[in-house]
Amino acid sequence: MLITLKGHNMKSTNSISKLVGFHLKKLRIQSGLTAFQLAKQAGIKSEQQLYRYERGINRIGIDELISSLQVLDIDIGEFFELITKESLVENELTDIDKEKQYLDTQIIITSSSHAN
């Protein structure tokens, strides 16, 4: 299964879960809430469950995600826009790293052929 999030290819829903969880944790920390506080206010059954969502171990349900984002005062559209923007930057950095590795390899190959 191939899922595209506005130019960001993810081969499994697990990747999306991790991405959503990572950003949820980031927003929670920025808001100054503990995992316990957010879990309680959002109606998530436990702090441990929220940690599992944040680490992408378990997939957060849409109702719990919306509830959490409401507590954090974040619109769901803004949330996914944030994820998309950061994902695109990560993709660009990965592409730049791959290009750099390729060019470094070409330099090494060229240098060794001239050394002979």
Domain ranges of the chain: 3-115
* Each residue's pLDDT tens digit, 14-56: 577 888 999 999 999 999 999 999 999 999 999 999 999 999 9
Given 1.25.40.10, 1.10.260.40, 1.10.1060.10, 2.40.100.10, which CATH number is that of 3-115? 1.10.260.40
CA distance 44 to 63: 10
pTM for the model? 0.65
| Confidence label for 83 from pLDDT (cuts 50, 70 and 90) | confident
Residues 68-95: what's their mean pLDDT?
Answer: 81
